[in-house]
Amino acid sequence: MGQIAIFLRRKNCLFVVRRKKRKLRVSFDLKLNLIRISCVKFDDPSNLMTLVEKVLFSDGKHLHFKKEEDFDCIGGKSNTNGAKFDKESLSVVWNGLYLACRKPRNGKEAWYVHQSLKDDISYCEIQRKMFNNGWHYYAIIVLKGEAPKKHRQEQKACSAGRTGIDIGVSTIAVVSEQEVILQELAPRMNEFNRKIERILRKMDRSRRASNPGKYNGDGTINRKDRTKWVFSNHYRKLKRELRTAYRQKSAYIKQSHRELCAILIQNSNEFYVEKMNFRGLQKRAKKGTRKKRFGRSLNNRCPALFVSLLKEKAAQYGLSVMEVDTVSFRASQYDHITDTYAKSRLKERWKKIGSCMVQRDLYSAFLLKNSDRQGKHADRMLCDRSFKEFTAMHDKTIRKMKKDGISRKCCFGF
């Protein structure tokens, strides 16, 4: 699954190629058609039935209904009904609207779009996203077949070797034959969070100034006041800025994960990752257990998205990603020198292996790299053979991180 994005300012806008089957996006800036597009959005009946079945027969508990302003996508189930994309004229026709677009000017991106459009179209959708100057519209074209490979990445990909990846709720540790990586997922995330918090505080001040009777003297909401809420134009502008900030945050996370995946596929053709249930980590804790969960970290770092993007990128270049059995492998407990398992507390970030002190996450990634073919246990012979090289790369990486001032004590241990 790859993606390119070229923003063409005003009137014609954007091409993006993405892979699920394969998605080609083309955006439109058509403010005159805002009402016609935004007011006629209904969920696909098959998708709706899937949600109902999840509540009735699976682990779903409630059906959540979207507000009118949250309807962001319309489309059909084939390219013959609903939104239809025409390859010859590079346009989308939907409900009497004719939406023209053009190829990007950049040569490499234009080549990628041209190669993608050679395949058959499965279906087309129209999606909108909020920017500071209002809604921008995108056509999402889902294509059949394999995605074209970028020449630069194809030459660099598929180096022989193994890579172990120990992924947490906010950090990632990678050990390959050539390098060791220990870093936060989406490291610039706090910049976006601070921006969102500033906008939320501004919105709260504006809301309180416009609705003084809606609040008690202690600042809490007066629930006895049933009058309609008043929102100023400044508040509506801030609301658009908030949606834009969330969109930018989401785009940054995806771009950061894609860049890391592109680096990883250059060093190995086999990847070993623990099979994690991230959805279970984000759920609210049951009564009588610890209250703190990992919902906020998962929202900020999106580790499950990284794993899915790595699988898509690996499939594109014919590489393999094996998810090892977390229960039987127990990477955080194993010591390959003594061939024993010992539980460690979550706050203990370093382990003594033989005569060496190693960072816990990096050592887990090292064990995953040397997994057996079944993904059940670490192969002691492979571990013994490559442990000396691992400790040399490990010490070099830790020294460099400390010298550069990269520190996160709760996760890295320094």
SS3 for the chain is CCCEEECCCCCCCCEEEECCCCEEEEEECCHHHHHHHHCCCCCCHHHHHHHHHHHHHCCCCCCCCCCHHHCCEEECCCCCCCCEEECCCCEEEECCEEEECCCCCCHHHHHHHHHHCCCCEEEEEEEEEEECCEEEEEEEEEECCCCCCCHHHHHHCCCCCEEEEEECCCEEEEEECCCEEEEECCCCHHHHHHHHHHHHHHHHHHHHHHCHHHECCCCCECCCCCCCCCCCHHHHHHHHHHHHHHHHHHHHHHHHHHHHHHHHCCCCCEEEEECCCHHHHHCCCCCCCCCCCCHHHHHHHCHHHHHHHHHHHHHHCCCEEEEECHHHHCCCCEECCCCEECCCCCCCCEEEECCEEEEHHHHHHHHHHCECCCCCCECHHHHHHHHHHHHHHHHHHHHHHHHCCCCCHHHHCC
Question: pLDDT at residue 36 above 80?
Answer: no
**253 in the same domain as 163:** yes
The whole model's pTM is what?
0.81
* Domain-terminating residue out of 97, 125, 148: 148
* Domain-terminating residue out of 148, 181, 214: 148
Residue 44's pLDDT is what? 54
Specify the higher pLDDT residue, 374 or 289: 374
The answer to whether position 237 is within a domain reads no
The answer to whether position 184 is within a domain reads yes
Domain count, the chain: 2
Q: What percent of the chain has pLDDT over 70?
A: 84
Lowest mean pLDDT among 99-108, 146-155, 277-286: 146-155
User: Tell me, what amino acid is at 327?
Assistant: V
Residue 113's pLDDT is what? 80
Question: pLDDT at residue 4 above 70?
Answer: no
Cβ 292 vs Cβ 247: under 8 Å? no
**37 in the same domain as 177:** no
**Across the strands, what pairs with 175?**
164, 180
The answer to whether position 261 is within a domain reads yes
**51 in the same domain as 170:** no
CA distances from 337 to 96, 322, 343, 378 (A): 71, 24, 16, 12
Q: What percent of the chain has pLDDT over 90?
A: 22
| Exposed e or buried b per residue across 18-32, where buried means at least 16 C-beta atoms within 10 angstroms of its C-beta | bbeebbbbbbbbbee
Cβ partners under 8 Å of residue 272, min gap 6: 162, 163, 164, 165, 322, 324, 368, 369, 371, 375
Question: pLDDT at residue 257 above 80?
Answer: yes
Lowest mean pLDDT among 28-37, 44-53, 299-308, 388-397: 28-37
**176 in the same domain as 95:** no
Q: Which of 164, 197, 168 shows the shortest CA–CA distance to 178?
A: 164
Longest dimension (CA), the chain: 74
Residue 280's pLDDT is what? 77
Residue 24's pLDDT is what? 47
Question: pLDDT at residue 349 above 80?
Answer: yes
Residue 402's pLDDT is what? 85
Cβ 231 vs Cβ 205: under 8 Å? no
Q: Note the pLDDT tens digit of each residue in 177-215.
A: 888 999 999 999 999 999 999 999 999 999 999 999 999
Question: pLDDT at residue 100 above 60?
Answer: yes
**394 in the same domain as 366:** yes
**169 in the same domain as 91:** no
Residue 156's pLDDT is what? 53
The answer to whether position 227 is within a domain reads no
46 exposure class (CB count in 10 Å sphere: 0-12, 13-18, 19+):
exposed
Cα separation, 342 vs 394, whole angstroms = 22
Residue 43's pLDDT is what? 45
Task: Determine how many CB atoms are found less than 10 A away from the CB of residue 259.
Answer: 9
CA atoms within 13 A on the CB side of 104: 22
Task: Determine how many CB atoms are found less than 10 A away from the CB of residue 66.
Answer: 10
**172 in the same domain as 266:** yes
185: domain range? Answer: 156-190+244-412
Tell me the range of 23-37, 39-53, 64-78, 368-382 where mean pLDDT is highest.
368-382
The answer to whether position 198 is within a domain reads no
The answer to whether position 222 is within a domain reads no
Quote the Cα angle for 100-101-105, to 5°: 155
Q: Note the pLDDT tens digit of each residue in 138-153.
A: 878 888 877 777 654 5
Q: Note the pLDDT tens digit of each residue in 368-413.
A: 998 888 888 888 898 888 888 988 998 888 888 888 888 776 777 7
Lowest mean pLDDT among 37-41, 47-51, 185-189: 37-41
* Mean pLDDT over the full length of the chain: 79
Cα separation, 360 vs 368, whole angstroms = 12
**165 in the same domain as 26:** no
The answer to whether position 233 is within a domain reads no
The answer to whether position 104 is within a domain reads yes
**134 in the same domain as 160:** no
Cα separation, 18 vs 117, whole angstroms = 12
**14 in the same domain as 68:** yes
Cβ partners under 8 Å of residue 309, min gap 6: 1, 254, 257, 258, 261
Residue 38's pLDDT is what? 28
Structure tokens at 68: 């009118």
Residue 352's pLDDT is what? 86
**320 in the same domain as 285:** yes
**143 in the same domain as 104:** yes
* Domain-terminating residue out of 148, 178, 208: 148
Question: pLDDT at residue 271 above 80?
Answer: yes
Specify the higher pLDDT residue, 82 or 330: 330
